[in-house]
Amino acid sequence: MSEQHSTSKFMQNGVVKWIEHRMPIFSFIDHSVGSGYPAPKNLSYWWNFGSLAGLALIIMIVSGIVLAMHYTPHTTLAFNSVERIMRDVNGGWLIRYLHMNGGSFFFFAVFIHIFRGLYFGSYKYPRELLWIIGVLILLAMMATAFMGYVLPWGQMSYWGATVITNLFSAVPWVGDSIVTLLWGGFVVDNPTLNRFFSLHYLMPFVILGLVIVHIWALHTFGSNNPTGVDVKGPQDTIPFHPYFTIKDLYGMGVFLLIFCFFVFFAPNYFGEADNYIPANPLATPPHIVPEWYFLPFYAILRAFTNDFVLYWPISWLMTAKLAGVIAMFGSVILLALVPWLDTSKVRSARFRPVYKWFFWIFVLDWLVLGLVGAHPPEGAWVLIGQISTAYYFAHLLVILPILGVIERPLALPESISASVTQPAE
């Protein structure tokens, strides 16, 4: 390959050799994202979403650092400082709309990345730790996004912060102390805004650290692939560079096209109109709704009412509110246990004829939960929310373990190369 030739020519350069001898950074890069990192040759476009999430994280960090230069974390100034960014800071509207919509697109990429992992069984041995780190990244993202949404100090910022921080008061014994600690006082006020700003600046770097560990774990065994069959030898792989560098770059182009359409032509599409009203502790908005990426989890939280069947067996133990809080956090944390809840030895849903259907029902269930979260808990939405919440947990706790035992998977191809030369489907 001409590529390897040019790499070696690069490595002959005197300056490169001097650095490489003292700190082998060039071979490190080559083994991470270069021609020295072999990747399965059959990776589909579903494998683009990891690098897209990475791109989104970089967009968020860069635009966020610039926003922080102009933002004022004080209850009387925050709202107007954001409007000053929009109106008087050069290019400020662009930076802010990139950051606002970047959050949505970060979650969009990460959700597809997670569902891709669920479909192709990317969480199974030996990638369990890689998967768990991924779930930790999702949790860190949720905390970051929540605190960031509070910063513009609009009506939804204030009331969202009030509702979500109040959830912790359901924790037995120490709940009220936790809430006081989160607030820095006895109501959501200036100390709350200040600590959220501080932590919102910190968390992205925690996420960045987790992403580095995530990639480290990934590179230990390399990527899973659409067949879920292990790499058997060099005939199954191609060098990451140039094949996947160019494929990732092309994916980024498509991603940026869609992202920029929203930034420039529908920048408030994912937002709530109420957040353009300054925070007013005396006026509660009619519907307090979180950002769209929290809606499924919000629906699970609200599903736990006193008449919810799932709540009956534990009603002697805790309030419905606490059960809802545990279920909401549990719905994410449970994902970390999927490597053990899924008992099937076969990774890819391509060769799991029944799981394939349950996967798509799970996706649908998740979308229905999102719809439920967007509506006030009235009428049919209550029941739909409770059924889809029950199904969410049934999928993870009942269907996955049983299906792995009773399902008869299709015959696996001998290797990735074999599956490419004779398509399985």
Asked if 307 is part of the footprint of another protein (rule: CB under 8 A), the reply reads: no
* Binding letters toward another protein, positions 382-401, x by CB under 8 A: --x-----------------
Between CA 354 and CA 357 the distance in angstroms is 6
CA distance from start to end of the chain? 32
Active site residue 189: no
Name the segment binding another protein (CB under 8 A); options: 17-25, 177-185, 305-313, 353-361: 353-361
CA–CA dist 78, 86 (Å, integer):
13
Given the complex with another protein, which of 87 and 232 has the nearer CB atom? 87
45 binds another protein, rule: CB under 8 A? no
Q: How many C-beta atoms surround the C-beta of residue 113 within 10 A?
A: 21
Active-site option among 223, 331, 348, 388 = 223
Which H or E run includes 237? strand 237-239
Catalytic residue among 272, 274, 291, 365: 291
- 231-270 mask for another protein (x: CB under 8 A)? -------x---xx--xx-xx--xx-xx--xx-xxx-xxxx
* Cα–Cα distance for residue pair 82/162, rounded to 1 Å: 21
Q: Is 310 exposed, middle or buried (0-12, 13-18, 19+ CB in 10 A)?
A: middle
| Residue 161 lies near another protein (rule: CB under 8 A) | no
By CB under 8 A, residue 312 contacts another protein: no
Residue that the structure tokens 């040019």 belong to: 6
User: Is 284 an interacting residue with respect to another protein (CB under 8 A)?
Assistant: no
Segment interacting with another protein, rule: CB under 8 A, options 70-78, 200-208, 299-307, 377-385: 377-385
The reply to whether 248 belongs to the active site is: yes
| Residue 422 contacts residue 349 (beta carbons within 8 Å) | no
- Taking CA atoms, 179 is separated from 166, 167, 182, 355, 419, in Å, by 6, 8, 5, 42, 55
157 assigned to active site: no
Residues in a beta bridge with 39: 238
112 binds another protein (CB under 8 A): no
At its nearest, how many Å lie between another protein and the CB of residue 135? 26
Q: Minimum distance from CB of 57 to another protein (Å)?
A: 20
Burial of 423 (0-12, 13-18, 19+ CB in 10 A): exposed
Q: Is 223 a catalytic residue?
A: yes
* Residue 275 C-beta: closest distance to another protein, Å: 8
Contact 275, 156 (CB under 8 A): yes
Residue with smaller CB distance to another protein, 178 or 238: 238
Nearest 5°: CA angle at 324, between 321 and 325? Answer: 90
Place of tokens 């954001």: 82
Q: Give the 3-state secondary structure percentages of the chain, helix then strand then coil, rounded to 5.
A: 70, 0, 25
> 38 pairs with which residues across the strands?
239
Q: Which is nearer to another protein, 59 or 170 (CB)?
A: 59
**Residue 219 among the catalytic residues:** yes
- Total residues binding another protein (CB under 8 A): 58
188 pairs with which residues across the strands? none
Residue 23 or 257 with smaller CB distance to another protein = 257
Q: Identify which of residues 290 and 339 has a Cβ nearer to another protein in the complex.
A: 290
Q: Which residues are known to be catalytic?
A: 219, 223, 247-248, 291
| Contacts to another protein by CB under 8 A | 41, 80, 83, 86-87, 93-94, 97, 238, 242-243, 246-247, 249-250, 253-254, 256-257, 260-261, 263-265, 267-274, 276-277, 286-287, 289, 292, 353-354, 357, 360-361, 364-365, 367-368, 371, 374-376, 378-381, 384, 420-421
